Amino acid sequence: MKRILPILAIASLSVTVSLAQRRGGGATPDGLAFRFVGPAVGNRVASIAGVAGDPFTYYAGAASGGVWKTTDGGVRWTPVSDALAVTAIGALAVAPSDSSIVWAGTGEAWAIRDSDVIGDGVYKSLDAGRTWTHMGLDETGRIGRILVHPTNPDIVFACAIGRMTGRQAERGVFRTTDGGQHWDRVLFVDENTGCSGLSMDTKNPRTLFAGTWQVEMHPWAELSGGPGSGVYKSTDGGTTWVRLGPALSESLRGRGEDERRVEGLPRSPLGKIDVAVAPNDSSRVYALIQTSDQGSLWRSDDGGSTWRVVNWQRALIGRAGYYVHLAVSPVNEDEVLVSNSSFWQSTDGGRTFEERINWGGDNHDIWWDPKNAERFVITHDAGLSITQQHGRSIQRVTLPIGQMYHVAVDTQVPYFVYSNMQDDGTMRGAAWAAEGAGAGFNGLGNTWEHGLGGCESGFTVPDPADANIVWATCYGNKVTRYDARTRTARSVAPSMITLDSPPPDAKYRCHWSAPLAIDPFDHNSVLYGCNVIFQTTNAGQSWKIISPDLSTQDRARIVPSGGIVGDNLGQFAGEVVFAIAFSEVQKGVVWAGTNDGKLWITRDGGAKWSDVTKNVAALPAWGVVSKIEPSHFEAGTAYVAVDAHLMDSREPYIFKTADYGASWSRINGDLPDGHPLSYVKAVAENPNKRGMLFAGTGHGFFYSTDEGAHWTELSAGLPHAPVSWIVVQKQFHDVVVSTYGRGLYVLDDITPLEQELRTTTDETKLFAPRTAYRWSQRGRGIINYTLKSAPREPVQLQIVDADGKVVRDLRTQSRAGFNRASWDLRWDAPRLVQLRTTPADNPHIWEEPRFRGQDTRPVTHWGLEPAQVGPIVAPGKYTVKLTVDGQSLTQPIEILKDPKVASSQADLDLSVKLQLRLRDNITASADMVNSIEVMRKQLEDMRKAFTGDKDKAAVLKQIADMDKKLFDVESKILEPAQMTSDDKYFQQAYRIYMNLIWLNGEVGPGAGDVAGGSDFPPTDTSVSVMEGIDKDLAAVRSEYKRVMEQDVPAFNRTLASGMTPLAGGIRD
């Protein structure tokens, strides 16, 4: 039975406004949620579909980041498939006869790395992407093309490559005639061959052409090509197919395959093949075929009966697994576009091609509007390119779909995350907010640093003793050491570059994602792994080998990658070290694992290595040891994640040893194992709680509180991309994960899990808050609590200082079960001016949309908002008080100083003291203005009511006189220029209220272009300015008191019977 999967929104429980970007799955049992932190830059889009004739609507399928939709021509994009169990989108199609029907085929077809992701079949949306239904083909692995009949949306074809990691029957061309309820495999070559290209004659939908691809992928190589690759044609709507080409091999003929010998097509073995029928000319058919030396592009001018090679450019078919795609203009059979590492255009039927450098780079899918040949979209490694003018102008789109290999953290406050992204490079940034988000210094946002050496693959690791130093690895045996002080990276590889070299010809075999680890006992000791492990103790100036070849050394697996055409960039390198990890408990203990299923330990820093592989029962043959996590508590304990999906096993494998590898137990417990993406890529232990583990699978994140016996998925905010790495930031109790498809995420403050948060609760409980840090004029205290039942009234949360004074008073709507609130470490904010009267300079102000229907309006001058807050608290000990339905609970919370702040506690106390004076004076000023505004609004209403009445002339004069007395006081507090609530009008010198706010920004949080000074004692100037404002405020308070105690009562006594007296005044 099919299940509709609506896209669910995640509601924030934060009391303060949060800038966290939350995406993905629904609420989890424990209510915690991941927070997206970056990077902001884009990554690979694998598939694209548009709506014919509609220049505004597109669907983009990320390589492993889900389906994204735009309805404004590509300006804004929204993820619309995050509730699905997969994020690799290999194909998209919109039904030509009904644009509300959208199909998504999962699993990336541009497969060239061991990390490229498979899927779980096809999904269908009947409401333009709002909800999706799984429509089967679960085991097809990778679907590279979906075709929908031009007039009957129930007839759909799926071109399935297969998983590529083993022999399987679920590959080839599949067809449904009932909208996906049932599927028939209509073209099947063999268990090693799938469909790589599919095209329908839109003038005669019963005619189809298919390209098939024999390919296999394992840890040691991707091998493209063989007798299964070929060109096929159907003339009966896909029911039967014939193979076109020269005589087949005896093995294929022996299977009884239907063949049709035609002139011109290349001989077997062939590699990946794509096909395309010209939409405007059924007789014109193209085939882009990977060959070693027979040509690149073939053309038929008679509907596939005869063929001829028309182009030999090798650049059209290079690195075929990652590319090989073509499209033909809907109006010109001679115009052909080809996606490869460069983008190519032919206007003479494929005879010659011109490189279009600005259209893309490392290109993949193409969608061409059948109703407008000027409009097409190209997807590539950096996102996608849209043109409405046939390439004369290009709109480039990037999406936050980073394919991150690993993640690391440092111990700064705030701490930084470090990672490297496919198709981009190395980067780091503070984890407190998403890249580019947040107020930042002077409003600049959270700026990340990119280009820390290394490259798109490998590891990016900070020196634990000096976060300015960053080590990184890169494919081809490249290692760099970066110094942030000089922003310079130095290449320090231990041997010659191995780029291009087939593994048998390389002295050292190094993987695309070669491991690197730094000794926690000696940060100068750095290890780097190829087939042996290298060590440097002098910043890479020299290296020595400290291990033997740790692989199985099976020569049958040490082979070139690529297949019929070599491709030895390093994505596949057999028999290499894939994981290295130091124990942080016992010096000299180092673990290593390989991508051919070997596991090793040394207890003397590498002098002697012990092979413990044989001790691991159920270790899958040729499983990739993807991550080793030495225990943070016991020297002999380690946890190992083994990923065997490249050997066609999707089971989760996690192992534990407690005796230095002498014996092992399998601890994946009840981790799900029935999905194509159930395999485990990463495991981590909580350094703050023994027995708490975390696991990242091909599409999810799980935690265990009993050393792996039982696991719970935590998915809120986290799309179902592969979780490639997990690390716990110890001081902050945060879990940080990298995903291969949606960037980096932080699970903030797992102390409730450490304090045994349960999915259901029978008590109201306030958890002990984690220590919070006060840094750079900002910070956050997270308050976690559970409620036995839904409260009758909003929950009250108070922060109380050591003297018992209430620092912050918060009210929040809460629910039964787990709740989380966020305190920004600030005292309560001041009350602000709320204007009610109509300013003489703008009598139409209440007609403006921003104020229409409102009773009050604020002062909106540019730059004020950051300073209209209470001061950030001084470091110290505070108390959190939770009150719910009359019951109160308390917990201590400690606020620590940023270690980088040099100011003393006394200096920070002085800063807070002055800011509190400022806050209270802002409140006092605002209270007087607001009181006057209430009365002046009453006078304004009276004046409107009496204007034009000759009998009320005397009363109108009294009203005007009273209004002037009130306005004279008000205008000494707030200059009249601000009463128009304009943003960027600069007309009049500030008076008391504005001077207080700007001074608050100077002393405290900043304002406009004022940097602020919360981390420093107040300057002598600030104190002097404050004293001057105090005098002005004292003087106006006296005037205000006189008006309220004398003039207002006198005015009220003169009012006629039945008139409402002035009210609302605040008296000191």
Q: Is-above-0.85 flag for pTM? A: yes
Give CA–CA dist 596/534, Å, rounded. Answer: 19
Q: What is the CA radius of gyration of the chain?
A: 34
Could you tell me if 919 and 1030 lie in one domain? yes
Could you tell me if 139 and 7 lie in one domain? no
**Is 410 strand, coil or helix?**
coil
Give CA–CA dist 559/934, Å, rounded. Answer: 85
Structural domain harbouring 162: 32-397
Res 254: pLDDT? 45
Give CA–CA dist 241/743, Å, rounded. Answer: 43
Burial 321-332 (b: 16+ CB within 10 A, else e): bbbbbbbbbbbe
Enclosing H/E stretch for 680: strand 680-685
CA distances (Å), origin 524, targets 22, 394, 466, 471, 630? 39, 48, 11, 11, 20
Burial degree of 16 (CB within 10 A; 0-12, 13-18, 19+): middle
Last residue of a domain, one of 516, 549, 575: 575
Q: Are strands 887-897 and 772-775 parallel, antiparallel or unpaired?
A: parallel
Residue 680 lies in a domain: yes
What residues in the chain have per-residue pLDDT under 70? 1-31, 247-262, 438-445, 759-760, 1065-1068
DSSP 3-state helix, strand, coil percentages of the chain (rounded to 5)? 15, 35, 55
The residues that bridge with 621 in the sheet, in sequence order, are: none
Residues 6+ apart with CB under 8 A from 1038: none
Could you tell me if 541 and 638 lie in one domain? no
Last residue of a domain, one of 397, 421, 442: 397
Residue 590 lies in a domain: no
Residue 596 lies in a domain: no
Last residue of a domain, one of 377, 397, 417: 397
Could you tell me if 850 and 948 lie in one domain? yes
Q: Is the dihedral of CA 434, 437, 443, 449 positive or negative?
A: positive
Burial 1006-1024 (b: 16+ CB within 10 A, else e): bbbebebbbbebbeeebee
| Structural domain count of the chain | 4
Residue 852 lies in a domain: yes
Could you tell me if 970 and 914 lie in one domain? yes
Could you tell me if 390 and 435 lie in one domain? no
**Closest C-alpha to 280, from 383, 197, 179, 203:** 203
Could you tell me if 1005 and 983 lie in one domain? yes
Residue 295 lies in a domain: yes
Res 31: pLDDT? 64
Residue 142 lies in a domain: yes
Could you tell me if 59 and 15 lie in one domain? no
Could you tell me if 877 and 1001 lie in one domain? yes
Residue 1063 lies in a domain: no
pLDDT digits (tens, 9 = 90+) for 385-439: 999 999 999 999 999 999 999 999 999 999 999 999 999 999 999 998 899 876 4
Residues 6+ apart with CB under 8 A from 1067: 1041, 1044, 1045
Instruction: Kindly report the CATH number assigned to the domain that includes residue 81.
Output: 2.130.10.10
CB 448 within 8 A of CB 39: yes
Residue 766 lies in a domain: no
Could you tell me if 449 and 555 lie in one domain? yes
In which residue are the tokens 């209440």 written? 846
Could you tell me if 412 and 392 lie in one domain? no
Could you tell me if 558 and 630 lie in one domain? no
The residues that bridge with 528 in the sheet, in sequence order, are: 516, 534
CB 751 within 8 A of CB 769: yes
